[in-house]
Chains A and B, each alone.
Chain A
Amino acid sequence: MLIRTFATLGLLTSLTLLGGCSGQSGSSEQGGSGTAEVTLLNVSYDPTRELYADFNQEFEKYWLEKTGQKVTVEQSHGGAGKQARAVIDGLKADVVTLALAYDIDVIAEQTGLFPKDWQTRLPHNSSPYTSTIVFLVRKGNPKGIKDWDDLVKPDVQVITPNPKTSGGARWNYLAAWGYALRQNGGDQNKAREFVAALFKNVPVLDSGARGATNTFVQRNIGDVLLAWENEAFLALKEYGPDKVEIVVPSVSILAEPPVAVVDKNAEAHGALDVAKAYLEYLYSPVGQRVVAKHYYRPVSPEYADPEDTKRFPQVELFTIDEVFGGWHKAQNEHFNDGGVFDQIYVPGN
């Protein structure tokens, strides 16, 4: 009796193993020829879940009509830094759509899967949509938060994800820094003090933007959430104006989340053309419309529904190139190991 049980278990194991193997080989055969089904893997950052769920359907429809080929787009989401790391470690992304250029630069530099000048291959620095950083506060704005200055008051708790792992968090940090520079006539030391004071008010660092939003809204921690504009709008839609409201600061940063084809991965399973078309379609009228619907600022607003674009408040925006001399410089100075962030952030304070 017992022997039979063990034998059955053994048989089951080998069957499952076999099943696993055949499943593997089946999927790798896909996409070999031009007309067969093809899958694309889009490795993206945290708040784009809803955007790409919507956009992928549009693209799958478009591609089938145009070429007769059935394409399935798969999604992976997480903090931008973590996602970039996964692609470097071998996650087979066909396209990456991350929160900031630096993370895509790192992939290009460390793996050589696509050329280092990737950002010149698509219009608008390869960013089909932009966003900015705004504040999300609790209903009625009980702490009276109006601008960046209010975030360093001692009784205000600020929620932001970890700049080490989250792209959105790096934009948050740089937006605050840029504001302080302006207030103090470009004094870097004053800006450093300001950002240090701000991070003193941060009780917890989540690894991604969505985690931070959940900490703020679901777990009710903190008085203000520094968030992507799109993420703030989405939270407002999900939770309703009776829970949270958006506060737009006097000045903020122009966030450009870029996209890139991972040439060698896409080529390896015969999806290079689809991958390129996928990203180009983001710039098309349909793509821009979807982008605006999901609260991203379209680079071609004329294609978007005016109802959608009029939701975006007018804010004075500075760019990372103007204030920080580009992502490489900003990353090296502020976010790499031993950088300014490591010096000013003391956990548990």
Chain B
Amino acid sequence: MSAAVAPPITRVNPATVRAATDEPLGVKILLVTVSVLFLGLFLVVPLAAVFGEGLRKGLGAYWASVTDPAALAAIKLTLITAGIAVPLNLVFGVAAAWAIAKFNFRGKSVLITLIDLPFAVSPVISGLIYVLLFGMQGWLGPWLQSHGIQIIFAVPGIVLATIFVTFPFVARELIPLMQAQGTDEEYAALTLGASGWQTFWRVTLPNIKWGVLYGVILCNARAMGEFGAVSVVSGHIRGKTNTVPLHVEILYNEYNFVAAFAVASLLTLLALVTLVVKTIVEHRLQLELKESTQTPSGEA
């Protein structure tokens, strides 16, 4: 121990080397304590509480809540919804970002605004839009009814609402990345005789793959966690039109707190996994951006 303490004094005394952002020790301790307390209070404690409450009656009760038929139906519906919404938004998002970042055309800014619209609109309004469109008192409701098609208060409505609220995630992630990368490589490919399609698959897409993945992760997290818009169009039929977040609300309202928190812990786990994957992808994304700005061209 004592041997380990001695060397720093003989080498460089850290206190004599002033960092650019040095503060008195007291301030440092204060700031660190405040941040740690804040993180603890607002992130760690609630997270722990979710699992604590879910496991309060033991693993058996936890497992029973998660494998209850209504819970399984909710999980299945959430997976189906995300399974449809995320791939569609992936295709739309890549297409939109490609058009916006690589081409110039009239109405481009209008398109960007439209893509951002779901971010600006409250999710409840997003849900109501679909009720207004497809509801029995809405524009298309009577026609749909006479053809036996059910959109709202059924799975299609939930999927549509989810697609709407998660629409911007992929595109918003890709547009800045693609703009930063510029169009040089595409021009090079085209000059060398590649077709537009070849250019997209061989040049553009490999350049943005981490950005795409990042957008998909965010999009998926939101698709599975969306509450407001889905709540409006769901109809809350137990075991049929309840997604996981809606099921959590129902269980909570039925005084079934253990089950509510057990099912909520699934969403929390999803969030944690998302966070880890997101961090890894973010790191790769940074590298990609650096490469595209530092090296003039070539090594894609």
Which residues of A are at the interface with B, using a C-beta cutoff of 8 A?
2-3, 9-10, 12-13, 16-17, 19-20, 23-24, 28, 41, 46, 49-50, 74-78, 86, 88-92, 110-111, 210-211, 214, 234, 238
Contact = CB atoms under 8 A, between A and B. Distances in A.
B153 A86 contact: yes
Interface string B87-121: 11011000000000000000000000000000000
A89 B84 contact: no
Interface string B240-259: 10000000001011110000
B177 to A, nearest CB: 16
Contacts of A19: 80
12 contacts: A16-B84, A17-B84, A20-B80, A20-B156, A20-B159, A24-B155, A49-B253, A50-B254, A88-B135, A89-B131, A89-B137, A89-B153
B75 interface: no
B236 A78 contact: yes
A89 B254 CA distance: 26
A76 B206 contact: no
B56 interface: no
A89 B134 CA distance: 8
A238 B255 contact: yes
Contacts of B134: 90
B137 A9 contact: no
Contacts of B235: 76, 86, 91
Contacts of B254: 49-50
Interface of B: 80, 83-84, 87-88, 90-91, 131, 134-138, 141, 145, 148, 150, 152-156, 159, 201, 205-206, 209, 235-240, 250, 252-255
Nearest to A11: B87
Nearest to B154: A24
Contacts of A90: 134-136, 141, 145, 150, 152-153
B232 to A, nearest CB: 9
Contacts of B87: 9-10, 12-13
A212 B295 CA distance: 61
A3 B205 CA distance: 9
B240 A74 contact: yes
Contacts of A20: 80, 84, 155-156, 159
What is the predominant secondary structure among interface residues of chain A facing chain B?
A: helix
Contacts of B136: 88-90, 111
A91 B240 CA distance: 13
Contact of B150 (A2, A75, A78, A92): A92
A214 B252 contact: yes
B238 A210 contact: no
A5 to B, nearest CB: 9
Contacts of A13: 83-84, 87-88
Contacts of A75: 237-238
A111 B141 CA distance: 12
A16 B83 contact: yes
A97 to B, nearest CB: 14
Given A89-B137, A211-B253, A76 B236 contact: yes
Nearest to A10: B87
A110 B137 contact: yes
Interface centre among B137, B138, B206 (most CB of A within 10 A): B137
Nearest to A16: B83
Interface centre among B80, B90, B136, B240 (most CB of A within 10 A): B136
Contacts of A89: 131, 135-138, 141, 152-153
Given A49-B253, A74-B238, A74-B239, 17 more contacts: A2-B206, A10-B91, A17-B84, A20-B84, A20-B155, A20-B156, A24-B154, A24-B156, A41-B237, A49-B254, A86-B153, A88-B137, A89-B141, A90-B141, A90-B153, A92-B150, A214-B252
Interface centre among A46, A77, A89, A92 (most CB of B within 10 A): A89
